[in-house]
Amino acid sequence: MLAEIGLMALIVAFLLAVYATVVSALGGAKKRPSWVKSARNAAIVAFPMLTVSVAILVYSLYVMDFSLAYVGDVSSRAMSSFLRVTALWGGQAGSILFWAWIMSGFVTAVLAQKWQRDRELMPYFITVAMLTTAFFIGISLFIANPFLRIWHIPGETNLIEALVQPAGALLYTPPDGSGLNPLLRHFGMIGHPPTTYIGFTGFVIPFAFAISALLTGKAREDEWIRTSRRWTLVAWIFLSIGLILGGRWAYDVLGWGGFWGWDPVENAMLMPWLVGTAFLHSVMITEKRGMLKVWSVGLIILTYSLSLFGTFITRTGVISSVHAFGTSALGPVFFVFIGVTFLGSLALMIWRLDLLKTEHELQSFLSREAIFLLQNLLFIAITFVVFLGTIFPILSELFTGTKITVGPPYFQKATAPLFAALLLTMGIAPLVAWRKQSARKLGRMLLVPFLLSLLLAGVWGYSHREQGAAYFALWLTSFVTLLILFEFGKGVRARMVRGENPGVALWRLVGRNHRRYGGYLIHLGVVMIGLAFIGDANFKQETQVALTRGESLTIGDYSLRFDDLRAYAGTDGRDILEASTSLFKNGEFIRELRPRRDFFVVQQQPSTIPAVYATPGADVYVLLVGWEEISFNSSTFKVYINPLINWAWIGGFMLILGTFVAAWPQAVGQRKKSYVLKPARLRPQPGSGD
């Protein structure tokens, strides 16, 4: 009975979403405020309806109602109640419903907050946002319905999945379910999908504001830009968290010793993140100087479209990936929706180009506007390279009949120079003035950090002379880090002149300009993540050796001794084979490591769990990859030394912290004060912030 209530709530939510889409468009076109208000109310009510559907599906997972096909597919009695609840997004149908629910929540949040201030934009905002919401609800209702029951016709062996009882069929409840995919039973995958979904769906809000501004002729005004920037920042931070958690999951679960493998689904997440980052930079110029309006609108259209494309790859199985769901009927529907949305939005932007004329011309190639424009070009170039490599299997199959996949070497070689240039501009941009910058003055500001970075890189490079590319990369990261730290130091010293101690000076410095110094922290986090990529590409060591009990292998300064191997049954439906090893460094015992292989009986699927010894400088990553079946007297181990890997997680934390600092609302008094400027101070000075 509960499942039927969930289904009815889903149907009502779909009808409300369609109603809101159509009536808001008609209300805007015919200037009928009452119609628009009715559409707004329908859009808001759709959210609690979806909440009912989601809550009932979660409850069905919790109580193990295996008569629902979805519950039987993604849960089992051996799973903990917590894992059963998180299985909501562990399968195709549940994740689509969850997706629609989050998107509806975003729309409801906007309609609850922005109704009065953005009243002129609201008719078309509701139309665009609810069109997308209705599309996802429709998929959940008609293609991937999570409330399908399992039916059995007496005398036949086949089971039927259907919403309505087939003629002569009886409801069938299996004694147990298949259980969640073993690869998804990790804290990273518990947090990774929801944050990614929030990031993807969140981009519908700035997209809807941009389209409504074009449709209403309000694209010249700045209010939609400020609103879009704030909502983009929300989506961007959640997508950032999703990327970091996904990398941690890959490192802990997939057993290949890395955190980023240029997998198609990883790329599908990276592309909207890149273009969304470009939009956040572009919109600064649009807000401050009235420039790059076409760029800003085009970038948010592309960000939203790439979010849909990421959903398309993940949900349809069109490209093989360890992260993706299996092949489904969603492909053609998604493809058409993405194409119509993207091409329609571009056509609208071209039609409204007269509203997007720049208010100021670029005065100098040595200016902050020019640096930001260069950054945008680099972001787009990286996105294009990643997009081409991601869809290459589809293109090759289309034109040659053979599916050819490009591997990490393509992505690494093609994107490395672009990322290096982007990192350099990231460090220099805050020092460059708006409008025009004196080259001599900029050179003086760069000189000391440049010389110190050469010294730091030289000390390191002396012992690694054979690593030319790594030497350059480490010099670059040192240079950008010093530029950022010097900016903090300059501000702290200026406040210390007033008698403040360093801690108070730093706190008040950041507190008076959240966006500027939060941005610096974000840049610092990106540099730290870059260190992890440098270590992975240039200094990673690996070996694979078969050992008998008591034997050791050596890799770098470490040695690993095989002590024992034992098999035992786990508590959640898995058989565990665990090795005991001892790790030594320069002959001194460090700790015991226990790599293992878990075999999930119900799914008949193995999972390799590494044992990791982590330090700030490097990880020792040990895998059990083979063993003697009868006596367990010998085992084969694969061992990686992963230098600088932990800077990926430290940098991720720094990036998230910086985003919260940048997004923290400015105090009212400080906000008002910032708008009262003397004429002599109207022109920002180098390094004066955003």
pLDDT value for 480:
94
pLDDT, position 232: 92
Q: Among 553, 485, 498, which residue's Cα sits nearest to residue 524? A: 485
Q: Is the separation of the CB atoms in 580 and 589 below 8 Å?
A: no
pLDDT band at 328 (very low <50, low <70, confident <90, very high): low
pLDDT tens digits, one per residue of 195-213: 999 999 999 999 999 999 9
217: in domain: no
| 3-state secondary structure (DSSP) of residue 157 | coil
Encoding tokens for residue 446?
A: 């760069």
Mean pLDDT check: name the lowest of 93-102, 519-528, 570-579, 659-668.
659-668
User: For residue 457, is it within any domain?
Assistant: no
Residue type, 414: A
Q: What is the pLDDT of residue 503?
A: 87
Measured CA to CA in angstroms, residue 242 lies from 237, 245, 483 at distances of 9, 5, 29
Q: Is the model's pLDDT at 35 over the cut of 80?
A: yes
Between the ranges 116-120, 223-227, 272-276, where is the mean pLDDT highest?
272-276
**Using an 8 Å Cβ cutoff, are 259 and 300 in contact?**
no
pLDDT at 259: 86
The residue type of 209 is F
Whether 15 maps to a domain, the answer reads yes
397-418 tens-digit pLDDT = 888 878 788 888 899 999 999 9
| Res. 310 pLDDT band, cuts 50 70 90 | confident
Would you say residue 363 lies in a domain?
no
Query: Tell me, what's the pLDDT at 684?
Result: 42
Say which amino acid occupies 247.
G
* Coil/strand/helix, residue 592: strand
Q: Is residue 119 part of a domain?
A: yes
Phi-psi region of 212 (alpha: psi -120 to 50; beta: other; left: phi over 0): alpha
Tell me if 598 sits within 8 A of 574, measured CB to CB. Answer: yes
Report the share of the chain in percent with pLDDT over 70. Answer: 91
Residue ranges of E strands in 167-246: 170-171
The residue-averaged pLDDT of 4-23 equals: 96
Name residue 250's amino acid. A
pLDDT at position 675, please?
35
Q: Is the pLDDT confidence value at 466 over 80?
A: no
Q: Is residue 588's pLDDT more than 80?
A: yes
Listed residues 623, 643, 663: the one ending a domain:
643
pLDDT value for 117: 65
Mean pLDDT to the nearest integer, 592-615 = 88
Residue type, 620: V
Cβ neighbours of 324 (radius 10 Å): 18
> In this structure, what token pair is assigned to residue 298?
């085009």
Q: Do the domain assignments include residue 12?
A: yes
Whether 201 is in a domain gets the answer no
> 112 lies in which domain range?
1-180
* Residue carrying the six token digits 């994740």: 95
pLDDT (0 to 100) of residue 401: 79
Q: Which residue has the tokens 């629902």?
A: 68
**Lowest pLDDT segment from 191-195, 572-576, 641-645:** 572-576
User: Rounded distance, CA 596 to CA 203, Å?
Assistant: 41
The pTM (predicted TM-score) of the whole model is 0.89
d(CA 308, CA 299): 14
Please give the tally of structural domains in the chain: 2
Sign of the torsion formed by the C-alpha atoms of 249, 251, 253 and 254: positive
Which strands make up the sheet holding 541-548, listed edge to edge? 541-548, 634-643, 618-627, 611-614
